Structure 1
Amino acid sequence: MLMAVVLTLISPTDAVLPGFLGRANYAATLKRLNLVDPDLVQRIHDGDGPKPLTCSSLLEARHTRQTRLEAGQPVHVRVTGLTPAVSAALSAALLDSPPKTWELDGHLFHVQETTCNPERHPWGGCNTYEALAEAQLSRQAPPDRQVTLEFASPTAFKSKGMTVPIPMPGLVFGSLVERWNSFSPMVLNPEMRRYGEEVMAISRYRLASRPVEHKNRSLRVGGLGQVTYVALAGDRYWLGVMHMLADFAFYSGVGAQTAIGMGQARRTR
């Protein structure tokens, strides 16, 4: 089960907060999940490799050093679950029994609404790995050779000991296939990373670099914007996987530090 829950938050006062609140939202999410399943929270905290959830910064963030809030102004954060256990815990903690308040960096918001209904907010949704696969791999029409991704928060990758702030095809689809194979009951060919490196190219892009402040005031730069990828070759299977992973990005995020707000992404049509 894949789930994306959006929380509508209302600040009771004017406030100035840090420009990036992904880590604060991660802390608030684990605190809430701890009321439902403490063992799950401990496994998430201690686990190596990709985390089975993502937590956004404010979806309205302009990715500047500070975020200014007005009293009564609605803002939104988002949490996604990539496994049945995490999605079930998110449903119990946020949808079945919505919190009344949500704390980010010491500032207490009122929670106006929680939803996973995309008709209520375009960043909400529910799906399954099986449905994503069936939608692309069993379709009769030939798949399009192009796909466009929106990177809605700074996106970066770890590669050969370096941080790469540009969403190159091999890095993007390698990251997505790694997450898919970490959490899905259906395993994909890991050669998708090599397919992205050798067969896919960027045909259009509109990107800006944005720094994200982490612990100890260290900065990590990521790319923000839209990129259109094109497959220069490939049969129906590889093109179907390309589109399926592009849909999966909505839930999984892309690249490094997705649990604390980086790499929020979605396909655009």
Structure 2
Amino acid sequence: MPHSLVLNLLPQAPIPAQFLTGRHLHALFLTLVSSVDQELGNSLHQSGADKAFTLSPLQSSRQIKRVGLQDSTLQWEHKMAIPEGTTCWWRISLLDDTLFSKLTQLWLNLNPQHPWHLGSADLHITSILGTPQSTQPWANASSYAQLYEQASDSDRIITFSFATPTAFRQGQYDTALPTRESVFNSLLNRWNKYSGIELSHFSIESIFPSFFNIHTEIVADSRSKFIGLTGEISYRILGDVSPEVIKNINTLADFALYSGVGRKTPMGMGMMRRRLHISTPSKNYNYAL
């Protein structure tokens, strides 16, 4: 059962910018895991690239929206320290039932006064959101069976919002272009690995991009540079396609909230979610809600 948990945090001292990278947040997550299961923490640290969790960058209530970024785009780098006492949130998604169950004691026995360390700063986890909120679209939970059962078998428009830079592995190199193969095969691979539900007769041959407003961003740290896309893209399902195939495509689109796509999702990259649409009959435009 995938979970998308949002942790509300309160730093007790300024968090220097150099400790707000994906590597440091990844280390903080492993510390949380190790606090209830040291063996599991070690296992996650040593596991390969495809891990059963994703993380977001740390989001600050004082963040300044950069010119040109859409409302759905998150802050993935910090040029300055986050001041003491600034309310923050951090999304953790878990794709594996076993992983969530092993961390249950962490969520149930949360002590809001217990300090967790990010660099030189202590953080208090004040609350955890695990169900949909009107002001927090990244909190949610659903079983894999529910995702499949509730997916539409008639909706032919799929719109994704890429909230943090996203890139896909192509041979030995990365590509930031969100082709249907890159996006939907990434979703399908993660669905097949964790859901236990086979999407039979799945095909991407009927999926075509119909709108895109995307651009590239560079994420740099002391070790490397990562180039990925942010923005929005819509795909349409065209032609004579069976309801079963349409349902499979919509299932993966709904699953995107939890799984993300592409590279470095445990480091805050590849965060995406589906956006709903309404139609205006007079002009047949589609507007993202």
Q: What residue number does 1:102 align with?
A: 116
Query: Contact between 2:9 and 2:123, CA under 8 Å: does it hold in 1?
Result: yes
Match among 154, 165, 169 for residue 158 of structure 1? 169
Q: Superposed, which structure 2 residues align to 1:1-269 within 5 Å?
A: 1-18=1-18, 21-60=21-60, 62-64=75-77, 66-98=79-111, 100-119=114-133, 121-136=136-151, 142-189=153-200, 192=202, 195-196=203-204, 198-213=205-220, 216-233=222-239, 234-269=241-276
Deviation of 1:186 after TM superposition, in Å, equals 1.1
Query: Contact between 1:16 and 1:66, CA under 8 Å: does it hold in 2?
Result: no
Superposed CA offset, 1:71-126 (max 9, x none): 32211111111111111233322344256333334432232222212227321111
Superposed CA offset, 1:175-217 (max 9, x none): 000001111111234x74xx33x33121112222112235x52
Deviation of 1:20 after TM superposition, in Å, equals 5.5
Paired AA for residue 185 in structure 2:
G
Query: Contact between 1:20 and 1:212, CA under 8 Å: does it hold in 2?
Result: no
Query: Contact between 2:12 and 2:121, CA under 8 Å: does it hold in 1?
Result: no
Deviation of 1:263 after TM superposition, in Å, equals 0.7
Higher helix share: 1
In 2: Cα distance, 1:58 partner to 1:43 partner: 24
Structure 1, 53-62 or 175-184: larger mean CA deviation: 53-62
Paired AA for residue 160 in structure 1:
G
Deviation of 1:49 after TM superposition, in Å, equals 4.7
Deviation of 1:238 after TM superposition, in Å, equals 1.4
In 2: Cα distance, 1:249 partner to 1:152 partner: 12
1:238–1:87 Cα change, 3 Å: same
Deviation of 1:67 after TM superposition, in Å, equals 4.2
Query: Contact between 1:256 and 1:262, CA under 8 Å: does it hold in 2?
Result: yes
Structure 1, 40-49 or 125-134: larger mean CA deviation: 40-49
Same amino acid, percent of matched pairs: 29
Q: What is the DSSP-based 3-state SS (H/G/I as helix, E as strand, rest coil) of the residue aligned with 1:178?
A: helix
In 2: Cα distance, 1:74 partner to 1:14 partner: 12
Q: What is the DSSP-based 3-state SS (H/G/I as helix, E as strand, rest coil) of the residue aligned with 1:245?
A: helix
TM-score (structure 1 length as normaliser): 0.87
Deviation of 1:127 after TM superposition, in Å, equals 1.1
TM-score (structure 2 length as normaliser): 0.81
In 2: Cα distance, 1:209 partner to 1:64 partner: 14
1:160–1:176 Cα change, 3 Å: same
Aligned residue pairs, count: 260
1:95–1:170 Cα change, 3 Å: farther
- Structure 1 alignment gaps of length 5 or more: none
In 1: Cα distance, 2:111 partner to 2:128 partner: 7
Query: Contact between 1:63 and 1:210, CA under 8 Å: does it hold in 2?
Result: no
Deviation of 1:243 after TM superposition, in Å, equals 0.9
1:96–1:225 Cα change, 3 Å: farther
Deviation of 1:69 after TM superposition, in Å, equals 2.0
Query: Contact between 2:15 and 2:120, CA under 8 Å: does it hold in 1?
Result: no
